[in-house]
Amino acid sequence: MMPRLRALLRLVSLQASYTYERMQGIGIAVAEEPLLEPLAATPERARAARGRSAQYFNAHPFLAGAAVGALAKAERDGEPGERILRLRTALSGPLGALGDQLFWAGIVPAVMGVALIAVAAGFGLGPVAGAVIGYNALRVLVTWWGLRIGLAHGLKVAHAISESRLPSLAARAGSIGAVIVGAAVPWVAAWLLRGTGQSLRATVLVVAGAFLLGALTLRRPLSAPALTLGAALLTLLWRWSAA
């Protein structure tokens, strides 16, 4: 199998060996390994490259391919070790911030928001399947693109990414996600509360109360699961005492 394809497959399980010490470091080493095969003829270089490849690294998992490609190219080009380690450190933050903004704060809420609206509107399982297929196609495509751009540009990969459409897409993704999540709120509330017998009143109270509480606790976020479990416990005590 092509080394590039093997690296892509290994990137799919990048975080399997995640630790709080080296974060994705070992996963990066595993994904980089097939791309370092040309160094096998010079065992000392290969050993040094392997040693460097497992150091601390943390970025967004879908964009880590760009780092894997760039680091492998730098090793193959015979760049000095300190320079390669500096590249590793330099890529970690920006690739993390870009991916978090694009995927975790934008695409994931948007995709799940659309699926929630469609389910609430009565479209059943189809939108859920569509969301999974579309998202995974995009996920693989972005990882593959990252790997390619990294291998093509090596040490200059950060510049190549900044020249691409990704930063502007990431900036817009959050706003799109916010609109879709906002639109999902009344749909899902009306749908989930319709079985309680007081759909309209409950929907208005729940959404308005949640918005108010969310706005009031913006600086000191609440743990919603803990709040819910506490409120449920009080509800049970109230029902038990009224029985």
Partner 1 sequence: MRQLPVLALLLWGTVAGLDLASVLQGLLSRPLVCGSVAGVIIGDPAAGLSIGAALELFALDVLPVGATRYPDYGAATVAAVALGAGQPWGAALGPAVLLGLILAQIGGWSIVAQRRVTAWALRHAAPALDRGDPGVAVRLHLLGLATDLVRSVGLAALGLAAVAVASRGPRFDMSTGHALTVVTVAGGFVALISGALRRAGTVRRIGWLAGGMALGVLGLAAL
Site residues for partner 1, window 163-192 (CB under 8 A)? 174-175, 177-192
Choice between 30 and 91, CB closer to partner 1: 30
For residue 45 the two structure tokens come to: 């270089």
Give me the least distance between CB of 205 and partner 1, in Å please: 8
26 touches partner 1 (CB under 8 A): yes
Give me the least distance between CB of 149 and partner 1, in Å please: 20
Report the residue from 85, 90, 108, 155 that binds partner 1 according to the rule CB under 8 A: 108
74 touches partner 1 (CB under 8 A): no
Which residue in this structure is represented by tokens 């974060």?
Answer: 23
39 touches partner 1 (CB under 8 A): no
Report the residue from 48, 158, 160, 169 that binds partner 1 according to the rule CB under 8 A: 48
Number of residues near partner 1 (by CB under 8 A): 98
Report the residue from 111, 151, 170, 173 that binds partner 1 according to the rule CB under 8 A: 111
Write b or e for each residue in 67-77: b if 16 or more Cβ atoms lie within 10 A of its Cβ, otherwise e: bbbbbbbbbbe
**Dihedral angle over CA of 220, 225, 231, 236, nearest 10:** -170
Gyration radius (Cα) of the chain, Å: 23
Q: Evaluate whether 23 touches 57 at the Cβ level (below 8 Å).
A: yes
Q: What angle do CA 114, 117, 120 make, to 5 degrees?
A: 150
Give residues 194-223 in contact with partner 1 (rule: CB under 8 A).
194-197, 202, 206-207, 209-211, 213-215, 217-218, 221-222
Report the residue from 17, 76, 79, 130 that binds partner 1 according to the rule CB under 8 A: 17
Q: Looking at 9-17, 82-90, 147-155, 157-165, which segment touches partner 1 (CB under 8 A)?
A: 9-17
Q: Which stretches within the chain are classed as H helix?
A: 3-11, 25-32, 43-53, 64-76, 81-99, 108-120, 126-153, 157-163, 166-192, 199-216, 224-242
Report the residue from 3, 4, 6, 58 that binds partner 1 according to the rule CB under 8 A: 58
Whole-number Å distance between alpha carbons of 163 and 225: 41
Give me the least distance between CB of 163 and partner 1, in Å please: 25
